[in-house]
Structure 1
Amino acid sequence: MTISISPPTFEHHRENLGIGERSPRISWRFTSEGDTKNWTQESYEIEIARASNARSETFRVGSDESVLVPWPTAPLGSRERARVRVRATGNKDETTEWSEFVEVEAGLQRDEWVAQVITAENKISTSGSLQPVLFRKAFQVSKKVATARLYITSYGVYEATINGVRVGDHVLAPGWTSYKYRLQYQTHDVTRLLKDGENVIGIEVGEGWYCGRLGFEGGRRFIYGDQLAALAQLEIVFEDDEKLIVGSDESWKNSTGPIVSSELYDGEVYDCSAEVKGWASSEFRDSEWKPVQVLEFPKATLLAPQAPPIRKIETLRPKKIWKSRSDKVIVDFGQNLVGGVRFRTTGPKGQKIVLTHTEVLEHGEVATRPLRDAKAIDTIVLSGESIEWEPKFTFHGFQYVQVDGWPSESGTPSFEDIEAVVIHTDMEQTGWFECSEPMVNQLYRNIHWGMRGNFVGIPTDCPQRDERLGWTGDIQIFSPTANFLYETSGMLWSWLQDLSVEQIEEFNGVVPQVVPNVIEARLNKAQAVWGDVSVITPWDFFLNFGDMSILESQFLSMKAWWNSIPKQENGLWDDTMHQLGDWLDPAAPAASPADGRTDPHFIANAYLVHITKLIGRIAGILGEPNERQNFEKMSVTLESLFQDTYITPAGRLAPDTMTSLSLALEFDLFRNQEEKEKARARLARLSSASRFRIGTGFVGTPMVLPALTSGGDNNYKQIAYRMLLEKRCPSWLYPITMGATTMWERWDSMLPNGDINPGSMTSFNHYALGSVGKWLFGCVGGVDFTKPNAQDSNSIKEVGWRKIKFAPMPGGPITKAKTSHLGPYGLISCEWELDVEKGVFKMVIVVPPNSTGIAELPGKSKSEVIEVGSGRWVFEYDDYKETAKWPPKAILDPFAQYEGEEEKERLGR
């Protein structure tokens, strides 16, 4: 058999221990081991062996579905384990081998928690933060252990040990959710950590997001509570089936350790002399430790995580270590990353090593101004003994670290002494891209690294300054790119549930600008683009992962947002409402990032029409005919109002900007095809007149290149490529000329002379402008999913990469590209190469089993579309014809005739 099947997965989990679902849906991917073409599944078998039953059950289902198929038997009981494997039979009566067995285990129900929430007397550090707390409990094990599970969460962030051995490898657990409503707990298999006789469970809890300072302009402390606490339930099953539960309660003790303070924004202070050696071992005596206090059990829903945990993913060695002109020791790790520094050293007692983390240098020195009120400093006080140290309850966004007080004659660490530890949510990577242009490859890497640094528990805006918040507008525009690069489903679904509960319970349907919300209520007025995440991001999720349940889950949130939008009598947005608009348009003043060129109410109303259409479409998919009819009717009215308000009789837009044109084209807001083509021509003209430098902020950036290239056979793709490849500021490649290794918040976060932008918001790791990634993967790389044309069952069945569009659009000097995506059905790839002089084009695509592909061949005199089944397909021809050679006259520099920068600036450069 040439088709193999992957081990099954459950729901959107990457890890299956202690899941919250009792009847988890099952998925599997396929791999073709040869050039097997046109293979489709006709039936599948699922074998389920329950730990509680010696006999396994096998279920055979006649179906071509292989993603999120129903659990075929009785639900799992609480704590119940089952081993599951699958195999499939194809259209030629060929049956795959059985997959490997995968174990899945259900978590706890709320009423099965017997443990209590324990806390300690607060100890306040000099900065006003709470000092992390150590909790400890000794217990006896006198029989042979069969299995042991630790169910644990905290008010704060925790790290647990049993007998001095760390439990699991999670970082900053339990992660950040809307703690008032949803608190995650983790399940760990700790069977191997137990021993005969006395055992000890230890838990250290730091502030994290629960108690720590959050937000800009000084932020606020104790948003969710002002006490560090732990909730832990260790359940041991012995070989004779007897059970022992060791739960957190009043019998536990507490103390403090060497971490004096550990704050997300300000960093960690660690005093080596205060280490409590062996505190989590059975040999330690805790007679001087204090008793704990018991708190009320959480009112929030206790839930098993949907997303993978935050983990240490990799380590990076320094690229360079040197002393600056001011005699400061600086370490360059060569990559803007998120995590912390790990080092090994020995030094005199009392000597302080101070690590200052920054993303960039400004004229050779670490640049701390962009951090605003975040210190991002770790301080380690040595004890005279050797130490290996890294921060435990904080993280930093940095490429450079200034090291003060290093205990060596030169004051400089060696390359072997120090390394950077990269952390982020441990999602599976699913997207890859490369092409013949090195700077475009670097752009892809910058997008990739920017996403990694901002997916730490939730999708954040930036990872370094006094913010790091789940801004809704940022992920709304970036989610299509994110979903291609990584398996984001578990993380985004969990975050969307936080969004909906806060929106409905706290803001009367208005979507808060950050989720979880920690900013003042006065800032959380209804805001277009940002609030529209409640509709658009679940739709993106559905298109990428093929799970209609997300639409069902979030439909109430969508309608609540639509109903909360302040409207005029005619139904359009209230034009007295302040809007953020095309945030960080490059023409906006540094101090006023909302003051872009595009009327913010134009943007708001374009989005309103778009989401109204979308909600109607979703209602149809969900089988809600009345809702569908209502929203479709409203969308027709709103679209007509929009056209009357913003489109002139001659078909011109008011306002006339890159963002307005791109938005109206991508949201299909024009009256007819003639108006669309006029708009596309106008967009091309504006792009050329700008000398191909970008003129869009957050809203327009993901749409400008697709708007130029989505008209089918047109001459504007070269304009798009010319904009992509522009190196002057503002452009996608300008930051790369300045050494960027992640996406910047502003097009000009650093000015050409090396000065940092004077604006207060100047992050060097912000993924929003990396939303161009979707166009890179689909237009340059040639891999995109097909979108449903209607609500009919056949069309809906094609979502989630079941039907794949291969339509590369070669342009500019790029002569080859390769893009891959690990979709729900298997690995998808497209690799093409073009010899422009000879007119030879070759494209090789791979369609995974149980899927189909649509190949749109570029460069032919008449576009050819070929539908293929699974397999490896090669298309090659020697009559490739371009509609516009590179560089065509239409994109020659309109200012080339002028010499001298002053004259070019005067003419509107």
Structure 2
Amino acid sequence: MPPVTRIDVAAPTFEHHRDAFGIGESEPRLSWIVTGAPEWWRQAGAELEVEFDGERQVKAVHGTESVLVAWPFEPLGSRRRASVRVRVQGTGGETSEWSPAATLETGLLEPSNWQAVAVGPAWDEDPEAMRRPALLRSEFRLASPVRSARLYASAHGLYRAEINGVRVGDDDLSPGWTSYANRIRYYTYDVTGLLREGSNAIGAQLADGWFRGRLGFGGGHVNLYGEHTSLVAQLEVTHMDGTVTVVATADDWLAAPSPIVTSGLLEGERYDARDEIPGWTELGVDPADWSPVALRDFAFDRLTAPNGPPVRCTQEVEPVGVRRTEDGRFIVDFGQNLVGRVRIEPTGEAGEEIRLRHAEVLDGDGELCTRPLRGAISTDHYVLKGAPGETWEPSFTIHGFRYAEITGWDGPVEGRIVARVLHTDMRRTGWFECSDPLLNRLHENVVWSMRGNFVDLPTDCPQRDERLGWTGDIQVFAPTASFLYDCSGVLVSWLADLAAEQLPDGTVPWYVPTVPGGDWWTPPRPGAGWGDAATLVPWTVFHGFGDAEILRRQWRSALAWVDLEHKLAGDDHVWDGSWQLGDWLDPAAPPNDPANGLTDPHLVATAYYVRSTAAVAAMALELELPEAETLTERAEAAREGFRARYRTGPGRLTSDSQAAQSIAIMFDLFDHAEEAAAGQRLAELVREADIHLTTGFLGTPALLDALTRTGHLDLAVALLAQRTVPSWLYPVTMGATTVWERWDSMLPDGSVNPGDMTSFNHYAFGAVADWMHRTLAGLVPTSPGWRGIRFRPGIKSGLDSAAAAHETPYGRAALAWHWTENAVEVEVEVPVGTDAVLEHPSGVSEALPAGLHQRTWPLG
């Protein structure tokens, strides 16, 4: 590769936005990546240029930082559009060319910016039945040509807008699921190209979604956040002469029943194509078929712009197999357990009904196994209108499935059916591969489980009657998630909801947003590992994305949680007086008692009390807050409380389990002098289990790291390579394409685990991918935001090769190594602006400048 003789800078980015359109920040922080520079080059400062309405301003910023740099210009008001570019200066005075420009636009930043009122169908009165979604519409005239136009939209429920017969945007399930009592998201759309001078029509479909639809266990409950759906829409049109026309939802809008007869996230969707109103968002619709809307209450001060991308269809998956049953049904295998819905192109006579049922697995007879879905019906219905070229896909529901059963279609279905994958459209940032195909499939399963469970917020499972934002699951998985995808926007939004839902005494709900009422897990109770998401997820976001602001935003929430832990632990600093989930779902736990495992739940709770207090003390140090000293002292007292109660000798604990040993090692609960003994006992426990794990949700993420840290890498590798239950690879050998909730969600004989709680798509045990990235490949961040990187090739892993790459905030970091006949070949990519070290087999560390580096290490 020829030496770099120039300095190149990519277009800047804003906050955590993939697309900075309709953002809610008046002073968005800026980041930029130097994509090419000489090895010796270091940033000393930068110039930022902004263009407002044809006028340019330039501001200088000093220092080496290029990630989330403070906005140096005047604060932005609502609807403000700006173009920004950057050029950097080196320590020797070298200056780059200006970067390409990046454009941002703010949304409506103040409640007073909204002229719209909330409207909904007047017939929407039955509080219990599955209510028919509505079509809402209005017509308007534009007196002169259009220069630009924006649509701002939100809803109680879910909406999908159209203008002049064309769908607005490509987002799905908008505006998503937030803590409705505190935050309701709205989206901004550029609709300039959909409007024309003269007469126009606008409309939206409106469905229950999370706001009013059925949610939760036992088949769920309806009306948990409100009894009525409503739409808020505000179209602002700027004309060529600078005048502005506003068209907003108001009492003159009209409503009609949708051809969607019923729609529910758990139930599925029923659509009768015979009820379609042709051209319902075009001109000339007969108003006799429509009725006046009803005005609804709406808290405009709760409206918030998105922190990250929306849900979209990101992939289409064709069937890998179609089987016709004797009674005429089709069983379709898409080859991948996924989250989304099926699009069909059916043929048939008007009034004929096609039914689509969904499931993750088949039973022993080759039929859909729907028992794990519990109260989620997950069935879609389409009634044909009998016209050529019919195409249909549900609009306001999703399913978790690999298999679909189609009834009522004579066929053929080949080439006329496809699965559409939906999730938050995050940017992929992390990759891994190695010489073991089973480990590669395991990693791919982790990726698919993250995709299926990041649908607007991080959930536990996507298929059954639950689908909740469980705090413990994301607490353990966040390090893996932040490597694989830029999930910063999702997590920033979810953490805002967590803080909003937190009780005054500091209690963190088991899942966020909370689901009010019902008889499940309410009222919230303090739970270790789950409530600790308030401290450990912000800490992970800080380390993964270099965002200290998230620590400031979540500070009061994090402090309230550790203050509560401190209070509950009492004078002896042992948290043993609360009901706990413990090391949830360890293999020894009975199928219907997942908390009853090998490890004392109070030992786990006290360990997490120590870990969270230490993390919040570190936050206080980072933020230079006065609480740092007190919290540091408290963390040490909590550590001594743990040791006094649960330590029985050097490296030994009252719970003689893999989970207890692993958590204690990784949470620094053993003194350094006894850590070797602790690791030795952990290794003995693994061998006593015949090289199998015995850990659950909280113990598993610490297990391989604890073995590695205490000098048992060979055993960690053997444990990961184990193929019989319980192990990570057992599901892979059983054909899994996502991570399972239980180690034995499917039993060796192919039957489904008899437990009432059995999911085939949970990411918690996929937290192992973080260890794979750092240990098998050897890509290790050593400071927040990947400012420091250690490249430590995992050549002692027993693999022939491994590689990992991550798009850091500074650019691409990558490491690939492979064995040859007599040497190890290593290739390293270092992003500009980072401090990188390559660790040699001898233990010597070599500082690396930015760029590509190749090394050959001979055997011996």
Scaled to the shorter chain, the TM-score interval is: over 0.9
1:293-350 CA distance string (max 9 Å, x none): 1123316511111021000101011101013577641111111111000111221122
Is residue 833–residue 841 contact of structure 1 (8 Å, CA) maintained in 2? Answer: yes
**CA shift in 2, pair 1:326/1:279, >3 Å:** closer
Residues 367-766 of structure 1: pairs in structure 2 closer than 5 A = 367-386=369-388, 387-408=390-411, 412-414=412-414, 416-504=415-503, 508-518=505-515, 520=517, 522=522, 524-565=524-565, 567-625=568-626, 627-670=627-670, 672-711=671-710, 714=711, 716-766=712-762
Is residue 122–residue 130 contact of structure 1 (8 Å, CA) maintained in 2? Answer: no
**CA shift in 2, pair 1:126/1:20, >3 Å:** closer
Q: Which moved more, 1:221-230 or 1:644-653?
A: 644-653
Give, in whole Å, the separation in 2 of the partners of 1:595 and 1:176: 32
Give, in whole Å, the separation in 2 of the partners of 1:146 and 1:157: 29
Partner of 2:522, secondary structure, is helix
Q: Which moved more, 1:551-560 or 1:565-574?
A: 565-574
Partner of 1:85, secondary structure, is strand
Give, in whole Å, the separation in 2 of the partners of 1:555 and 1:12: 19
Residues 149-298 of structure 1: pairs in structure 2 closer than 5 A = 149-298=150-299
Displacement after TM superposition at 1:620 (Å): 1.4
Give, in whole Å, the separation in 2 of the partners of 1:690 and 1:604: 25
Displacement after TM superposition at 1:841 (Å): 2.0
Give, in whole Å, the separation in 2 of the partners of 1:599 and 1:336: 35
Amino acid at match of 1:769: F
Partner of 1:158, secondary structure, is strand
Amino acid at match of 2:200: N
- In structure 2, what is the equivalent of residue 802 of structure 1? 787
- In structure 1, what is the equivalent of residue 26 of structure 2? 22
Partner of 2:289, secondary structure, is coil
Partner of 1:423, secondary structure, is strand
Displacement after TM superposition at 1:18 (Å): 1.4
- In structure 2, what is the equivalent of residue 900 of structure 1? none
Amino acid at match of 2:261: V
Partner of 1:215, secondary structure, is coil
Displacement after TM superposition at 1:126 (Å): 12
Displacement after TM superposition at 1:228 (Å): 1.1
- In structure 2, what is the equivalent of residue 846 of structure 1? 829
1:503-555 CA distance string (max 9 Å, x none): 04xx5320000100015463521100000000000000101111110011001
Give, in whole Å, the separation in 2 of the partners of 1:300 and 1:260: 33
Is residue 832–residue 851 contact of structure 2 (8 Å, CA) maintained in 1? Answer: yes
1:31-64 CA distance string (max 9 Å, x none): 238xx4243212212111112xx32112233321
Q: Which one of the candidate residues 10, 14, 26 is aligned to 1:10? A: 14
Q: Which moved more, 1:239-248 or 1:122-131?
A: 122-131
Give, in whole Å, the separation in 2 of the partners of 1:700 and 1:675: 20
Displacement after TM superposition at 1:28 (Å): 1.0
**CA shift in 2, pair 1:812/1:75, >3 Å:** closer
Amino acid at match of 2:106: A
1:615-634 CA distance string (max 9 Å, x none): 11111111112x11111111
Partner of 1:389, secondary structure, is coil
Partner of 1:178, secondary structure, is coil
Is residue 776–residue 797 contact of structure 2 (8 Å, CA) maintained in 1? Answer: no
Amino acid at match of 2:31: S
**CA shift in 2, pair 1:434/1:125, >3 Å:** farther
Give, in whole Å, the separation in 2 of the partners of 1:647 and 1:737: 38
Displacement after TM superposition at 1:690 (Å): 1.2
Is residue 38–residue 849 contact of structure 1 (8 Å, CA) maintained in 2? Answer: no
**CA shift in 2, pair 1:568/1:610, >3 Å:** closer
Partner of 1:669, secondary structure, is coil
Give, in whole Å, the separation in 1 of the partners of 2:92 and 2:832: 13
Give, in whole Å, the separation in 2 of the partners of 1:483 and 1:438: 24
Displacement after TM superposition at 1:651 (Å): 3.5
Give, in whole Å, the separation in 2 of the partners of 1:218 and 1:426: 29
Is residue 373–residue 465 contact of structure 1 (8 Å, CA) maintained in 2? Answer: yes
**CA shift in 2, pair 1:650/1:694, >3 Å:** closer
Displacement after TM superposition at 1:130 (Å): 1.9
Is residue 265–residue 394 contact of structure 1 (8 Å, CA) maintained in 2? Answer: yes
Q: Percent identity?
A: 44
Partner of 1:198, secondary structure, is strand
- When the two structures are superposed, what TM-score results if normalisation uses the length of structure 2? 0.97
Amino acid at match of 1:18: G
Is residue 721–residue 811 contact of structure 1 (8 Å, CA) maintained in 2? Answer: no
- When the two structures are superposed, what TM-score results if normalisation uses the length of structure 1? 0.91
Displacement after TM superposition at 1:812 (Å): 4.4
Answering whether residue 837 of structure 2 is matched by residue 833 of structure 1, we say: no
Q: Which moved more, 1:254-263 or 1:85-94?
A: 85-94
1:403-462 CA distance string (max 9 Å, x none): 111133xxx512x10001011001000000000110000011000000000000000000
Is residue 81–residue 103 contact of structure 2 (8 Å, CA) maintained in 1? Answer: yes
Displacement after TM superposition at 1:653 (Å): 1.4
Amino acid at match of 1:474: D
Displacement after TM superposition at 1:874 (Å): 2.2
**CA shift in 2, pair 1:650/1:87, >3 Å:** closer
Displacement after TM superposition at 1:756 (Å): 0.1
Give, in whole Å, the separation in 2 of the partners of 1:651 and 1:74: 58
Is residue 347–residue 409 contact of structure 2 (8 Å, CA) maintained in 1? Answer: no
Give, in whole Å, the separation in 2 of the partners of 1:445 and 1:288: 50
- In structure 2, what is the equivalent of residue 55 of structure 1? 55
- In structure 2, what is the equivalent of residue 883 of structure 1? none
Displacement after TM superposition at 1:161 (Å): 0.4
- In structure 2, what is the equivalent of residue 885 of structure 1? none
Answering whether residue 845 of structure 2 is matched by residue 878 of structure 1, we say: no
Give, in whole Å, the separation in 1 of the partners of 2:373 and 2:548: 41
1:265-311 CA distance string (max 9 Å, x none): 01000011111111110122223311111123316511111021000
Displacement after TM superposition at 1:187 (Å): 0.6
Q: Which moved more, 1:86-95 or 1:40-49?
A: 86-95
Partner of 1:292, secondary structure, is strand
Partner of 2:786, secondary structure, is coil
Displacement after TM superposition at 1:875 (Å): 2.6
Residues 772-791 of structure 1: pairs in structure 2 closer than 5 A = 772-787=768-783
Partner of 2:653, secondary structure, is coil
Give, in whole Å, the separation in 1 of the partners of 2:223 and 2:516: 13
Displacement after TM superposition at 1:391 (Å): 0.6
Is residue 180–residue 300 contact of structure 1 (8 Å, CA) maintained in 2? Answer: no
Give, in whole Å, the separation in 2 of the partners of 1:141 and 1:396: 41
Partner of 2:736, secondary structure, is coil
Unaligned runs of 5+ in 1: 788-798, 881-909
Is residue 351–residue 382 contact of structure 1 (8 Å, CA) maintained in 2? Answer: yes
Give, in whole Å, the separation in 2 of the partners of 1:256 and 1:755: 44
Displacement after TM superposition at 1:467 (Å): 0.7
Answering whether residue 342 of structure 2 is matched by residue 365 of structure 1, we say: no
Displacement after TM superposition at 1:193 (Å): 0.4
Partner of 2:405, secondary structure, is strand
- In structure 2, what is the equivalent of residue 907 of structure 1? none
Is residue 122–residue 292 contact of structure 2 (8 Å, CA) maintained in 1? Answer: no
Give, in whole Å, the separation in 2 of the partners of 1:514 and 1:61: 41
Displacement after TM superposition at 1:225 (Å): 0.6
Partner of 2:281, secondary structure, is coil
Is residue 371–residue 465 contact of structure 1 (8 Å, CA) maintained in 2? Answer: yes
Give, in whole Å, the separation in 2 of the partners of 1:92 and 1:420: 55
Displacement after TM superposition at 1:127 (Å): 8.3
